[in-house]
Amino acid sequence: MESTWGNRQVAIVGMGLTGLSCARFFNARRVPFRVVDSREQPPLLDQFVTEFPAVEFVCGPFNNDTFGADDVLVVSPGMPITEPSIVNALDNGALLTSDIELFINSIKRPYIAITGSNGKSTVTTLVGEMLKHSGIHSEVAGNIGRPVLEQLLEGNRPDIFVLELSSFQLERLPYMGAAAATILNVTEDHMDRYDSMEDYHAAKWRVFEGASVAVVNRDDATTFLPVSVLEQTPDQIIEYGLGPSARGFGIQDDQITYQGEPVLAADTLKIKGRHNQLNVMAAMALCLSLNLEKRVSLPHLADAAIAFKGLEHRCEYVEEINNVVFYNDSKATNVGAAVAAIEGLSGDTPSIILIAGGLDKNSDFTPLADVCQVHVKHTVLIGQDAEKIADALAGQSVSRAESLELAVAAALLQSADGDSVLFAPACASFDMFENYEARGDAFRHAVHGIRSQAGEA
C-alpha cells in the first residue's frame, strides 16, 4: 500500500465519521495525510486530535490555496465535489477518491450495490437477512450504520458485502463492478445539491457500471437505463414489478411470484404497503442473482421476508389510541418517500391524517398534493417550510401546529374510528431536530404521551 501511494500528499476532506474512518485507514497503512474541514469547529475535531496528534488539521472556509499542495483528495459524501476549491485542485491535477473507492479497491470479496431515493436501508437490511437465512455470511455497510472502512479495519471477511450507496457516494466513483446492482427508484431529492433531476439521476445510474447483474423495476423507467445503454445483456437483468410476470418477480392474486410461480402470500409480510412489496421483490432478486454455490433458494428468501419486522422510523407502527393507529415514517425526508408511505397505507385504512413539514430541500410538493387529494383527509403541518407545503395543498383540509406534540394532538382530534395518523414529513429534520432519528423518537414520545393522558397506558 505504501508503494501505491508513494510520496503523494493526501488530504482527507471532512471531519465527520467518514473522514475519521479514512484517517484510521491511512494511519493503519502508514500513509501520511492531513485533514481539512470548511467548518471552524467540526464536531469531531477533538477526537481527531486525540487519535492523531501528529497530523495537520486545517479548519475554516476553503480558498483556492487550500489544496494547493495536495495530490489526492479523499472527499467525504457531505462535501460537494462542485466546491470551487476542490474543482480548482482537480483542474490542477489532484486526484479525487472516496472511502467507498478505497473500500472497493481493498476488498477481495463480491459486493451488492443498492441505491435509490427511498427504501435503500430497508432493502439493504432485507438482503442481509435473506443471505443470513441462506447460510451465507454477509456484512451490511455503506450509507447505513458505520462507514465501510470500519469493516476493513475490523478485519471482517464475509462471503459478500451488501452496500447501501447514496448519490453523493456514487458520484465520486470512477467504476463500480458490483456482483449485482439496483436503483430502487428516483424521485426528487437533494435539489439543494444538484442543478437538475438529470444530474441527480446520472449519479444514481453509475451503480450499474460493470455490474454482473442489474435488478430493475420494470414498471419504473427511472430505475434503469435504456437497454441500448445498459452494459448488461437480457440474461443479466432480473426484473420485478407489481403486476404478473413470466420472467421475473411479480404479484398475482395477492401472491409474490417468480416466473409465474407463487413464492409467498403478500399479506404474510409484516412490512405493509405496495412500496414494501416492491422492496421485498428487489431484495429477493438481488439475492437470487448471486446463486452462491446454489445456497440461495426461494423458500429461504421467503422465510426471511416474512420474519422481517422493518426498520425504525420507516412506516413504523407506534401505537393505537381510540382505534386510531399511529405510524412513524420520519425517514420520509423527501416528497417521494412521503408519497410512497401514503400510497402504501391507503389500502389498509379508511382515511389518513398526515403530519408533514420541516426543512425543504428545494422540492416540488405537487406530487404530495396530488396523493393527499386522493388519500389524505387532513394534513397537519409543522416546521420552517410549512407554508410552502400549505401553498401546494391549497384547497385541501390543512392546519398548522407549533410543535410536534401539538401536531399529534391535532391529528388525533381530526381522526375517526379506524383512521391512521401518518408522520411522513417530506422534508429534512434540521430546522427542529438533530436528525430524522431524533425527530422520529420525538414523535413516538408524543404519541405515547397522548395515550397516557387518555388513561390508556
Q: Is 122 annotated as a binding residue?
A: yes
Q: How many CB atoms lie within 10 A of CB 231?
A: 12
Q: Which of 7, 92, 105, 120 is catalytic?
A: 120
CA dihedral in degrees (414, 418, 421, 422; nearest 10)?
A: -140
Q: Is 120 annotated as a binding residue?
A: yes
Q: In the numeric block, which cell numbers belong to residue 128?
A: 442481509
Q: Could you write out the DSSP letters of every residue in 274-290?
A: HHHHHHHHHHHHHHHHH
Find out whether 365 and 342 touch, Cβ atoms under 8 Å. no
Alpha helices by DSSP H, 291-402: 298-307, 335-346, 366-375, 386-392
Q: Is 78 annotated as a binding residue?
A: no
CA atoms within a 13 Å half-sphere pointing along the CA-CB vector of 129: 20
120 is catalytic: yes
CA dihedral in degrees (426, 306, 125, 331; nearest 10)?
A: 10
Q: In the numeric block, which cell numbers belong to residue 321?
A: 389510541
Q: Which of 133, 190, 300, 313 is catalytic?
A: 190
Q: CB within 8 A of 206, min separation 6: which ones?
A: 170, 171, 173, 176
Find out whether 241 and 250 touch, Cβ atoms under 8 Å. yes
Find out whether 204 and 167 touch, Cβ atoms under 8 Å. yes
Q: Which of 88, 92, 108, 143 is catalytic?
A: 143
190 is catalytic: yes
Q: Is 98 annotated as a binding residue?
A: no
Quick check: helix, strand or coil at residue 230? coil
Helix 335-346 crosses helix 366-375 at what angle (to 10 degrees)? 10
Q: In the numeric block, which cell numbers belong to residue 385?
A: 417550510
Q: Is 187 annotated as a binding residue?
A: no
Residue with cell 374510528: 417
N-to-C CA span, the chain: 59
* Separation of alpha carbons 343 and 424, rounded Å: 12
What residues are paired with 328 via a beta bridge?
316, 423
331 is catalytic: no
Phi, psi values for residue 74, rounded to 5°: -100, 100
Nearest Cα to 395, choosing from 426, 420, 419, 370? 370
Please identify every residue annotated as catalytic: 120, 143, 190
Known binding-site residues for ATP equal 116-122
